[in-house]
Amino acid sequence: MPLYRYKIDKGELLKFKKVPKRLGAFRPAHVSFSGYPLPQSAKSWCAMYEGILRNVYKECDNFNCTIKVGRKFVYLNKIDDYSSKVIERVLKEPSKGTIDSASDVLNAHSMFPEVIAMVTCRNLGIPYKRLVSDSKIFESYKWIFTGLDEPIGLPTRKQSAKGASYLRRLDIVLDLKKPIVLQGQADPFASGAALDRSANKAETNRFLADRGYHIPKYIVINSKRDIVKCAGLRAPVFIKPVEESLRIGVIGPIWDPSLLVKSYTMAMSQISEGQRKCLCQEGVRGEEFRINCNFGKITFAAKTIKGYVIGDGRSSIAQLLEKRRKKYNAREIKADYINNILAGSGLTVGSVVEKGRRIRISLNGSEEGRFIDATGSLDVKYKRLIKRLAGDLGLNVVGVDVLIDREGTAWIIDVNNSPYVAFFDSAEKSYATMEHMIRCISMKIGRKDNGRVLASRQN
């Protein structure tokens, strides 16, 4: 019995008398049929469904597939109900527009951690289940894919609440001896104390500094009165909320102390949950990396290449950005993130800067910049450092922002206990990371198989 099935009414399927010529390329090898007979046109329709699925979810491409035909229904392989509905619409209306639209939506959807987890479970032969019905999942996706082509901006309070609800609803449960809930790339075994500590930047900094890690000098700002304490920090500095993520409220680099109060006010206006406190932290010069440690393995290291524009004395920063995006085909984000960076220099996207002046427009590779895969080239001593840090924090999974200066010292900039999994154009590292995680979890817990408990193994 297949792990994933999508039931389609056989009578509806038999209405498709002709095979869409446009979809001829989506006919995978290694597809067979069992059960009741189907006419060739219906078989081609099913094979093209499987072909589109494999074209988007590359990790499924090498699997043999038996499509089961019942008396009233045909059972197709699937990733989730949302994917199946999108593919079905393409097959019913096989125009270039529907194919392009489905490709855009499903490729964006294919990088979601829960979808990666489902594909991985399919590869490893581990049963899974959702925490909600497919119909509720489909409703959840509606707001996510609204305005798919719109530039990405800072989440609002409303969006943050909706995002939290989305994450709770789309959790994946591994059907092991003891069911385990996967929430993206988060550690299901971490203690509450470890998670709480790592979610607070000030507590994490104190904890790591006490254990000998290099932490840039910082001041905790409880109110505007504390800003005067920041005068002793070396410029540039950054202001960031102690309990936010996704770069929300991160202002800087700030070069002029007179801009600290304005920057602090700006950061506070973006805090959507948690403590209303900020850090003011010194910047460190060097090369920045996101190093991902997952159950004792460095699954990837991404080097950040920041984005800049060069002033010409006539154009606004927004106009310079537009030219840069056309030249480099850069991922566009809304002005919110960029204004957070520019505020540290007293600028906005509407500012015109003198000719030759270099203006930084990104904090990391996802904001008008890019990432380079440094997994193989990063010195092993830094990988060992992050593995030790994960152990000290009591976390099996951690994403660490590390800045390496000219002397080779690794400075810990930020720690993420539920790190983003997709940092590169290719999904290869994302799938490999989730596969490693699911293998480790299933080996730890054991999986059910005909009443016996077995260690997970790949089919």
Mean pLDDT (the chain) is: 86
Sign of CA dihedral 115, 119, 122, 126: negative
In the predicted model, is pLDDT for residue 117 greater than 50? yes
pTM: 0.85
Q: Which amino acid is at 106?
A: L
Least confident of 83-92, 130-139, 249-258, 414-423: 130-139
**Confidence check: pLDDT of 157 > 70:** no
Sequence-distant (6+) residues with CB within 8 A of 426 are none
The predicted-structure confidence for 162-211, as pLDDT tens digits, reads as follows 666 666 667 889 989 899 999 889 999 999 999 999 999 999 999 999 99
Average pLDDT of the segment spanning 60-76: 87
| pLDDT surpassing 60 at residue 452 | no
Residue 316: band (very low, low, confident or very high) from pLDDT cuts 50, 70, 90: very high
pLDDT greater than 60 at residue 338: yes
Mean pLDDT within 125-151: 69
How do strand 6-9 and strand 172-174 relate by DSSP bridges?
A: unpaired
Buried b (16+ CB within 10 A) or exposed e, 315-331: bbbeebbeebeeeeebb
> What pLDDT does 336 receive?
84
**Which tokens hold the place of 86?**
């999108």
In 3D space, the residue among 299, 294, 250 whose CA is nearest the CA of residue 270 turns out to be: 250
Compute the distance between CA of residue 143 and CA of residue 277 in angstroms, rounded to an integer.
31
39-48, 238-247, 413-422: least confidently modelled range: 238-247
pLDDT band per the 50, 70, 90 thresholds, residue 74: very high
Pairing assessment for the beta strands 31-35 and 65-69 based on DSSP bridges: parallel
Q: 89 Cβ partners below 8 Å, 6+ apart?
A: 98, 102
Ordered DSSP codes for 402-451? EEE-TT-PEEEEEEESS-----SSSSHHHHHHHHHHHHHHHHHH-EEETT
pLDDT at 96 exceeding the cut of 60: yes
pLDDT of residue 6: 85
pLDDT bin (cut points 50, 70, 90) of residue 450 is: very low
Q: Specify the pLDDT at position 148.
A: 53
What is the rounded CA–CA span in Å between residue 82 and residue 84? 5
Structural contact between residues 266 and 219, judged by C-beta atoms closer than 8 angstroms: no
More confident residue, 212 or 139: 212
Residue 161 has a pLDDT of 61
Higher pLDDT, 146 or 438: 438
